[in-house]
Structure formats: C-alpha cells, structure tokens
Amino acid sequence: MIILDGKITSNDIKNEITEIVQEMKNKGEKVPHLAAVIVGNDGASLTYVGSKVRACEQVGFESTMVRMPNTTSETELLREIKKLNENPDIDGFIVQLPLPKQIDTQKILMAVNPDKDVDGFHPTNFGRMALDMSTFIPATPFGILELLERYNVETKGKHTVVIGRSHIVGRPMSILMGRKGFPGNSTVTLTHSHTKNITQITSQADIIITALGVPGFLKAEMVKDDAVIIDVGITRVPDETRERGYYITGDVDFEAVKEKASFITPVPGGVGPMTIAMLLKNTLLARERHRE
C-alpha cells in the first residue's frame, strides 16, 4: 500500500511555483495576487482562508483577505465582487463557501469575472471544463488529478466511483475522471444520497473518491482488494483532550481500508494540502493569462 502524500506533493508544487515567482521578480514583473473574500465567522472557513493566504506568502504571491460580517447583504457582497473584478492589481479571487443564508450563492458565483475565477466555480468555467477547453479547474478535483498523475496511478479503463455530487468536488470529479487523457479515461459512476445498494457499487470500484463529510463512511467491506482510495472528507470532531478542541477525520475508515488499498490518501495530509497548492497554481495561471 502506498500513501498518496498530499503534504509532500503540495510542498513540491509550492517549491516549483516559488521558483517561477522568483523568476518573475528577477525580471521585474508583477507577481500573482490572490484575494479571498470571507463572509461571517465560521471557524473552519476562517482556517481555510488563513491557510490560503499563508500559502500565498510562502510562494511569494501577494494576497488580500476581505472580511465581511455575517449580516452582509447580497448587494453588499456583489459590490465587493465588482470592485475585485475591476481591480487590475488582482489576478484572481475566491469567495469562500458556504455563504450566510441571506445570500444566493449561485448569484454570487455568477458575478465573478470568469478570467479571475480561480476556484473554477463560474458556469462558464465549469462548462469549459466539461468541454475539455482550457480553464480553471476547481482546486480540490485539480489536486486529486495532480496526486494521481504524480504517483502515476493508472486510471485508463478503470471503474471510478465518486461518492457525493457537490458542485465543488463530486460533480466536477465525475466529469474529469471520464475525460480523455491522463488522469482520465475512466468509467465513472456518480453516487449520492439516493443511490441504492452503494456497497454493491463501491465493491466493484478500482478507484473510490469520497466527498461526503460523513466520518468513517467507507468501510473495508465496501472496498475490493487493491482499490485506490481518495478521501476528500474533512470533518471536525469535538475532542476536549486536543489542544484545538477538535480533531480532523475523513470519510474513510482509514485503519481498516488501508489494509486492502493499493493507494490511499490520509486525512489530514492528503487532499487538503493539495487543494491549496492548486489554488496557487490557478492564480499563477491567471497572472500568466493576464500578461498575455
């Protein structure tokens, strides 16, 4: 069994990006600038955005964090997005999800200039992805593709089962694994809360990608020998004995499933750090496109 180590791989990617940024600086060019908008005080979202901003600093990007209160109206957020769309200094920006109830998420995502949509959530970019056109691929699915590629995991002709149909992970993942090329050329089954006999389906899978947020959902009896297991679940479980008051766990019963898997991602240290590295990669891509 081989651990797909997202920590090491994301560090490799960050080092590659750092070198490119250094070259930009040496030539006197503007470095990539990422902005992140966060509305409200959700602890997990603040942690994620903090990590994204820190990662920008690590590789030499400029970054801007825009914090807005939980009571922000849709109009106020749309005004902020317009400012970021029009600010020539900003190469790409993200609006951290989830948003407070009073705000229509789809309306917000559609307001982001697709050329600055480094999350790849705008319908134009999602459509471009589905049509194999160059675009910003959403960071988490992009990170999974990168892990599969760098570890040379065979995907051609394999049966990939995706669990969860979220717009951020499951849905794009199901499209990407079925595309032509590598990693891709897979036969994909997209499962969700209405899927019947899920064990029957997962136990036929060569590759399983779980993005549910249900700790320990994927058990050893649901997995065939030598399957590739990608765990996208990140759940905070309260635990007073820990310094932070919680620990992070995935969708996979890791200890049992690892005995059967050929490759497996740990949580933490698997897909999570890859997401951040790929957001940086998309921001670099945005800068390069704006230069052209």
For the annotated binding site for NADP(+), the residues are: 164-166, 234
Beta strands in 99-245 (DSSP E): 159-163, 187-191, 207-210, 228-231, 235-238
**Residue 281 is a catalytic residue:** no
CB 96, CB 37: distance < 8 Å: yes
Angle separating helix axes 43-59 and 6-26, nearest 10 degrees? 50
Q: List the interface residues with ligand GUN, window 260-279 (CB under 6 A).
A: 275
Q: Is 168 helix (H, G, I), strand (E, B) or coil?
A: coil
Does position 97 bind ligand GUN by CB under 6 A? Answer: yes
Q: Among residues 119, 146, 251, 253, which is the contact residue for ligand GUN, using CB under 6 A?
A: 119
Residue 96 or 189: which CB sits closer to ligand GUN?
96
Partnered with residue 118 across adjacent β-strands are none
52 belongs to the catalytic site? yes
- Among residues 119, 231, 251, 253, the one annotated as catalytic is 119
CA 168, CA 151: separation in Å to the nearest integer? 23
Q: Please tell me which residue in 14, 52, 116, 158 is annotated as part of the active site.
A: 52
Q: Which of 96, 117, 206, 281 is catalytic?
A: 96
Task: Pick the closer one to ligand GUN by CB: 117 or 206.
Answer: 117
Q: Using CB under 6 A, pick the residue from 111, 168, 177, 211 that binds ligand GUN.
A: 168
Q: Distance between CA atoms of 66 and 289, rounded to whole angstroms? A: 24
Give the one residue of 4, 94, 163, 190 binding ligand GUN; rule: CB under 6 A. Answer: 94
- Residue 95 touching ligand GUN (CB under 6 A): yes
User: What whole-number distance in Å separates Cα of residue 128 and Cα of residue 172?
Assistant: 11
Task: Please state the closest distance from residue 110 (CB atom) to ligand GUN, in A.
Answer: 14
Count of positions on this chain that bind ligand GUN (CB under 6 A)? 9
Q: Is 177 in the site for ligand GUN (CB under 6 A)?
A: no
- Alpha-helical (H) ranges within 27-104 are 43-59, 74-86
Element (H, E) at 275: helix 271-291
Q: Is 251 in the site for ligand GUN (CB under 6 A)?
A: no
If binding is defined by CB under 6 A, does position 31 make contact with ligand GUN? Answer: no
| Known catalytic residue at 96 | yes
Q: Does 209 bind ligand GUN (CB under 6 A)?
A: no
Neighbours of 116 (CB within 10 A): 24
The answer to whether residue 140 forms part of the interface with ligand GUN (CB under 6 A) is: yes
CB of 94 to ligand GUN, least distance (A): 4
* C-beta nearest to ligand GUN: residue: 97
Token pair for 199: 């064990």
| 46/198 with CB nearer ligand GUN | 46
Contact between residue 238 and residue 245 where contact means Cβ atoms under 8 Å apart: yes
Rounded to the nearest 5 percent, the helix, strand and coil shares of the chain are 40, 15, 40
Residue with Cβ nearer ligand GUN (140 or 189):
140
Q: Could you tell me if 182 and 156 are in contact, meaning their C-beta atoms sit under 8 angstroms apart?
A: yes
Consecutive H or E run containing 173: helix 170-178
Provide, rounded to whole angstroms, the least separation between the CB of residue 32 and ligand GUN.
Answer: 17
Tell the smallest beta-carbon distance from residue 231 to ligand GUN (Å). 15
Contact (CB, 8 A) for 243 and 277? no
Q: Which residues are catalytic?
A: 52, 96, 119
Q: Which residues bind ligand GUN (CB under 6 A)?
A: 94-97, 119, 139-140, 168, 275
